[in-house]
Structure 1
Amino acid sequence: MKLQSLVLATAAALTMTSAIAVPAGTWTIGAGAHMVDPKSDNGTLSTPLGALKVDVDDDIRPTITGEYFIANNVGVELLAAIPFHHDITLKAADGSKVDAKTQHLPPTLSLQYHFDGYNMPMNVKPFVGVGLNYTTFFKERIGVSGAKLDIDDSFGVAGHIGVDIPFTPTESFRIDARYIDIDTDVELQTGGVSYDVGKVDISPWVYGVAFVKQF
């Protein structure tokens, strides 16, 4: 429902007309930091060690965005970051825990509409977007001797909403949030045998701040 609301907001924005403030052909570059905040209840894995409930923690890393305006007020943005690091707790029914960890990169490509030229208070410039996320996982670890954890890469839709607060005609402070659908298959290798043990649903909100420069 959260993602559906963002998609509907984007569709509505793209059908609106307004005074034009950002012309086609404009570039913006943003540099900042984002926190990946996974949803609660990330699933349960059926493993040779028993059923293990999954809890994935959050992480904050530097990020960069680049956006090209293909039409007036309509841009295509790519989000990139250095690898996010996540500790994973696998909890059994008896309360015992197994620690695991992974790193991931979540490049996200979005089509966005910027509400520039609407005479907003303090000249703020809201925007909404929808796009596609690709998340690749690597350096997986699990705290069980002789065992190996493998998390598949994930494709999913992403929604984006935020606001730019300008302090010069070409420079802004950005606050934004994304909802990303990240749902991935997990494999556990132990005793020379590989087991498909289920899915992990991370589907985080990603909150960020950035400095944005327009060219």
Structure 2
Amino acid sequence: MKLQSLVLAAATALTMTTAFAVPAGTWSVAAGAHYVDPKSDNGTVNVDGTDFSVDVDGDVRPTISGEYFIANNVGVELLAAIPFHHDITLTDNAGNEVDAKTQHLPPTLSLQYHFDGYDMPMNIKPFVGVGVNYTTFFKERVYLGNGNDLELDDSVGVAGHIGVDIPFADTEAFRIDARYMDIKTDASLNGADLGEVDISPWVYGVAFVKQF
């Protein structure tokens, strides 16, 4: 699903009317885990005149989010997590590899619409959202010998969110969701620009949700 489709679905949902089931003023908290799955082909960087293709691997970490409903079925959600760890492989045209790694935190703020009160099968409650992601990188390292300083700039980009809540009590549910995050970072080595690394992952997760 393209990010544009998520944005369109969110905009359409916000214009619909129904018998609302989540009143304004409600809070919810979701605790679970998410897997960050970077896109394939993460770009090309140039190190001392040699081009290297970039491959960033995935990682799973515990996450938590809080959502406040500013209107019936319309919530503002903030996603947080403990740092994700990514191994990075740089490969030149001859097949030579250089290893690197980084950690990052990707807090994401989203405006969401919950299809709650639509008489769905098994009382499931789909939702869609769109927002902004801020990703900060730290503890970057490249294995090119001592004294080499790899830096990845912070990233700000659009984020899309889609998922479903499966209730098992009046105020409790099991959540399955997926997010798209537009994450692009400028890389540098010892202060010299290397090029852009495009991570832009899909993020898949499960969580326990509690409403208050």
Q: TM-score, normalised by structure 2?
A: 0.98
What amino acid is the match of 2:169?
T
5+ residue gaps, structure 2: none
1:195 is aligned, of 192, 199, 202, to 192
Pairwise CA distance, 1:24: 0.1
Structure 2 residue aligned with 1:27:
27
Q: Tell me, what secondary structure is at the counterpart of 1:155?
A: strand
**Corresponding position of 1:80:** 80
Task: Report sequence identity in percent.
Answer: 76
CA distance in 1, matches of 2:93, 2:175: 43
Within 2, Cα distance between the matches of 1:47 and 1:94?
Answer: 14
Amino acid at match of 2:141: R
Counterpart of 1:212 in structure 2 is: 209
What does 1:16-165 align with in structure 2 at a 5 Å threshold? 16-48=16-48, 50-145=50-145, 146-165=147-166
Q: Please list every run of 5 or more consecutive structure 1 residues that lacks an aligned counterpart in the other structure.
A: none
| Distance apart, 1:49 and its partner CA | 5.8
> What's the CA shift for 1:148?
1.3
SS at match of 2:116: coil
1:166 aligns with 2:167: yes
Letter in 1 for 2:173: S
Letter in 2 for 1:168: A
Matched AA of 2:198 = D
- Aligned pairs, number: 211
- TM-score (normalised: structure 1): 0.97
Give, as a single letter, the amino acid of the residue that structure 2 aligns with 1:182: I
Paired with 2:18 and 2:125, the residues of 1 have a C-alpha distance of 13
